[in-house]
A and B are shown apart, each in its own frame.
Chain A
């Protein structure tokens, strides 16, 4: 480090600007020198902080003790050179304490650890001041220095600490033989000039008492002398080099452009079949690929770099909240692009604070709830489906949805109507709205109501999403998903009509081309769900045109030729039906703007070789959307974790959709009879003769007024309403819609339908959630539709 700076030649940096004029013996202190000092000091400080926290758990770890000592020592030395006297003083005091800990003269107590951490804070403050203003700042830290001195001399700390430790300082008498032994062991490690001085003193003091160690001592002195020269060199061999982030950014951009140019060149290969040209292009291709991979690596950093600060954070939070908290980290080595790492630091910090402050309960409460007194915060990171997932989970008290709802109403973030339409999941998301905070008390740590929405905004600004999952009394889990932007991935281009899309190859399993749909191998319909038999496996089918509501004139569903792209997402395979499949090529993934972030179907966009913008499909999201063979577009009445139909039938429960009519009567429809829930603008409804219809997906779909069907007098069509809620039913190409009043809820219930006294249009009634509900006769309506279609 900078111990060697003391004898810096005075004309070393003739070119760099110096504020001090050059004269005979003055040393030029350039900006670069100070910057280097700061960079190394910050690094050392970070390591020291981490080490101090670890040291608390393992107070005898000599390696750590040595490291901290050396760091403080170097820092002190450099400060002397630069003239930062307060910093020097503080570092010096710390060094003294470390020295005592190292040679066993003192033991690490909680107090000592706390004060040392406070010292680290002070050093950090001063370094920051130097960085910003060039001076250490106004604070003389006299109190801290006094504390450090008290600590050094073994007196009990006067600062607030939880455990009062008194005089656990053990002073070992410096006897000759043991001294010699300890000296030998010390000499085996690297020694600083100060240590050598002390060693020599000790040896000299005992020369008269014991003659024997003398020849050894001389050898030791020689050894020691040898080691002093080594100190000038850095403690580990440096195989790294510092590069400015801007330069790496530039490199990345250039590589991205190169990839695009390479793609275009490759296209020409198909036109100009000149051998030399093709060979050169191949070479270009190989080199570009390797270059791209390597450059991406330069920016990737393990997320552990951000997490390093967290053990200390948790320790401090545990103390200030008087709780027992343990932090478990998994996946430190998960790599992220550097810019992303910077961006998630703050959100993660806030979420951790949140867990400690609001999530975890006090030890007494935990005990009363039958939980272990120590709460745990889990921090996990891993790669999944082209994204980096970070989870922060605590085994605390969970989040009470009802409290959230109440608070949201109170703060006027929603009105009661909107609240009623929300699912629990949507309600939980309210905590991310600006102006929201349920903390009864605003603490220093969190609760100011500016936290969660900032977390969400920060994460969204890098193209990520954040989600909350909780169980009251058990746990709260925040899941952050960050896409690997700047990623260059291989992708397959497909098209539906005039629309082109890209599918990341990582999700691609195989391709099936259907040319003649009269042949045996085609899509079958089982229970209103399209299925394809792929070598003894039943593959659920998803129509891209449907999912994306492409509404092209050319409907894939009716065409004879199409392709099935077999995709895999999250252990589920399914087939995506598209019109045509094109090439596979490498694309640069670019995130979509803020306005399009809500659309989960797309993972980003890219620019193809011909300059066209093409959207990249998010395979996992598509799978989820098409989940149970139902699609509920903007109305997430079905939560993602709802039971699958299988599990439901096992428990004899059915999913039922409940609607209310204007006269407050309730009508139910089994969910497996519902294809979609739609909301249409009233003015879009048209009529053909007596039948109400609507243009839907390029076809004309008949609509039934539920009031009519049930022969109720009052019409469900409230002409003042802007929109109508419609349940769409689909069966082998025949679809129809039922206009209902209000869609209430979807529940899972055991249903025993009683046919007694059923009226026309229903199959019977049942008691659901304590009320009588009639079940719509969907089959009858289907028959009616088929009849009308035939007679048309």
Chain B
């Protein structure tokens, strides 16, 4: 039996990781268009607190979402957050984070359900966690994070795609 030759290829997902307060988060690289440093933001009056404002991305106007507000994290924000620019279904949105980490290759089998101790609202936006040596890597559901328009946070049925 040549089991060595019959190795099944491991299913991996590449994640772009970043830091937000105490949290270590990741989003699938596929969804990330680029990562850039702090950009001057024009605030949008009347917008929800989740939206920090608008940035000029090489001539394109991109909405910047304050991830801290979105995940209801109360720790003190940094002065110059970095931009993780996402491209989801032709929509470009930027997430403001404290700092950016490396691109990590995570095996799919290592993805676990989020622990019950995780804050409720963060749980809503997480697809799962990876247990790493010294900490947890939370896999963010980019679509949910970006979809600010679901007025009912407790919808009886999930929106159709």
Contact = CB atoms under 8 A, between A and B. Distances in A.
B61 A605 contact: yes
A548 B63 CA distance: 18
B93 A593 contact: yes
Contacts of A611: 56
B87 to A, nearest CB: 12
Interface size class of B (residues with CB under 8 A): 20 to 34
Contacts of A595: 47, 50-51, 63, 65, 93, 146, 148-149
Nearest to A414: B152
A439 interface: no
Interface string B21-63: 0000000000000000000101111110011011110011111
Contacts of B149: 594-595, 597-598
A590 interface: yes
B1 to A, nearest CB: 46
Contacts of B9: none
B61 A613 contact: yes
Given A595-B63, A596-B51, A499 B56 contact: no
B45 A548 contact: yes
Given A257-B59, A613-B55, A599 B44 contact: yes
Given A412-B156, A434-B159, A595-B51, A614 B45 contact: no
B107 to A, nearest CB: 33
Which of B42, B55, B91, B152 has most A Cβ within 10 Å?
Answer: B42
Contact of B157 (A418, A435, A612): A435
Interface string B88-122: 00011100000000000000000000000000000
Contact of A596 (B47, B56, B59, B60): B47
A499 B159 contact: no
Nearest to B39: A613
B4 interface: no
Given A548-B46, A594-B149, A599-B44, A434 B160 contact: yes
A235 interface: no
A607 interface: yes
A550 B93 contact: no
Nearest to A602: B44
Name which of A597, A605, A613, A615 has the most chain B CB atoms within 10 A of its CB: A613
Nearest to A500: B42
A514 B128 CA distance: 59
A611 B55 CA distance: 10
A453 B150 CA distance: 14
Contacts of B45: 499, 548-550, 601, 615
A598 B148 CA distance: 11
B65 A435 contact: no
Contact of B59 (A413, A500, A607): A607
A592 interface: yes
A450 B160 contact: yes
A550 B56 CA distance: 22
Given A435-B160, A595-B51, A605-B54, A612 B42 contact: yes
Given A595-B149, A596-B51, A598-B149, A614 B42 contact: yes
B42 A615 contact: yes
B160 A593 contact: no
B65 A590 contact: no
Interface in A614-629: 614-615
Given A595-B93, A596-B51, A606-B61, 7 more contacts: A435-B157, A499-B45, A548-B45, A605-B61, A612-B40, A612-B42, A612-B56
7 contacts: A411-B157, A412-B156, A412-B157, A500-B42, A593-B93, A595-B149, A606-B61
Interface of A: 257, 260, 411-414, 418, 434-435, 450, 453, 499-500, 548-550, 590, 592-599, 601-602, 605-607, 611-615
Closest 6 CB pairs of A and B: A412-B156, A548-B45, A613-B42, A593-B63, A613-B54, A434-B160
Interface of B: 40, 42-47, 50-51, 53-56, 59-63, 65, 91-93, 146, 148-149, 152, 155-157, 159-160
